[in-house]
Amino acid sequence: MSKTIEKRPFGRSGHMSTVTLFGAAALKNVDQSVADRTLDVLLEYGVNHIDTAPRYGVAEKRIGPWMQRHRSDFFLATKTDGRTYQAVKDQLAVSLDRLKTDHVDLLQMHALYHPDEWDSAFGDDGAIRALVEAKEEGLIKAIGVTGHGWTIAAMHKRSLAAFDFDSVLLPYNRIFYANDRYAREFDEVCAIAEERNCAVQTIKSVARGPWAAKSANYNTWYEPLSEQSDIDKAMHWCMARPRIFINTVGDVDLLPKVLDAATRYTAKPDEQTMSEFEDKSRLSTIFGLGT
């Protein structure tokens, strides 16, 4: 069977990205040989978009040597958790050095959900000024914002009202979308994004729930789905949403299963199938109770 994954326009970037973007948190604590083998899996499946961050342990350092051989084949995104002008400038310089490149295609404000940090980022000496300057200098091509948790869709609406971001990133799965408030706010973010041709990236597509005590078997802070048939259902449900992208799971051993599921997507699973899957897999929230 051909290992072909659907491609979609990544917002206004002009890049046709695979629906599955490689979430490089999977490389946060692996050695270079494991990283190289994992990154080679992307070539096998035709994945052409990598999303990393300084917070992901040694991920940027592991991507750099491999990226020197494959830079022209990938849309490369990283993040910054700096909230001030100088912090962003300094962190971007380190990221470019680690990634062995003179520019990244997307630089995103990482986990911008706290109101105080938001005020700093959008202030006169804030992150936004550094991001705009870096884009003018050709160090980055696009600017995004990311976040986790039940309130992030609402915060992204605030961010989009204040700045014309090229991309957003936030959770999307069966459990999140079952929450009426989150679903409404997620839909509103997607509507704004469609109007502006802003890319929408999603995370936690194959999250099952919080880890039970002392049972963590994968390199993820939450318990992921692990059976191929379960991953298929979760992935295909998410992929049925037009225009969005899915960041892959943060575990190198589960990555091929996620990518394999993406190659076999044809249609959204019906409601009965998903309801039975949800009950069987005991899906639950990983962020506490939503309101």
Domain span at residue 149 reads: 7-281
Q: What is the pLDDT of residues 168-203, one digit of tens each?
A: 999 999 999 999 999 999 999 999 999 999 999 999
Count H helices and E strands in the chain, helices first. 11, 12
Looking at the domain assignment, is residue 266 inside a domain? yes
pLDDT tier, 266 (very low <50, low <70, confident <90, very high otherwise): very high
CB-based contacts of 267, cutoff 8 Å, min separation 6 = 236, 240
Looking at the domain assignment, is residue 173 inside a domain? yes
- The domain total for the chain is 1
Q: What is the pLDDT of residues 72-94, one digit of tens each?
A: 999 999 999 999 999 999 999 99
- Do the beta carbons of residue 27 and residue 2 sit within 8 Å? no
Looking at the domain assignment, is residue 277 inside a domain? yes
Rounded to a whole number, what is the largest CA-CA distance in the chain?
A: 54
The pTM of the full predicted model, rounded to 2 decimals, is 0.96
Q: What is the mean pLDDT of residues 16-25?
A: 98
104 bridge partner residues = 140
Q: Determine the pLDDT at residue 289.
A: 60
Looking at the domain assignment, is residue 291 inside a domain? no
pLDDT tier, 53 (very low <50, low <70, confident <90, very high otherwise): very high
What percentage of the chain has pLDDT greater than the value 90?
A: 95
Looking at the domain assignment, is residue 289 inside a domain? no
Looking at the domain assignment, is residue 96 inside a domain? yes
Alpha-carbon gap, residue 261 to 3, rounded angstroms: 10
Looking at the domain assignment, is residue 229 inside a domain? yes
Q: Determine the pLDDT at residue 74.
A: 98
3-state helix, strand, coil in the chain (%, to 5): 45, 15, 40
Looking at the domain assignment, is residue 213 inside a domain? yes
143: pLDDT strictly greater than 60: yes
Give the count of beta carbons closer than 10 Å to the beta carbon of residue 239.
Answer: 23
CATH of the domain at 80: 3.20.20.100
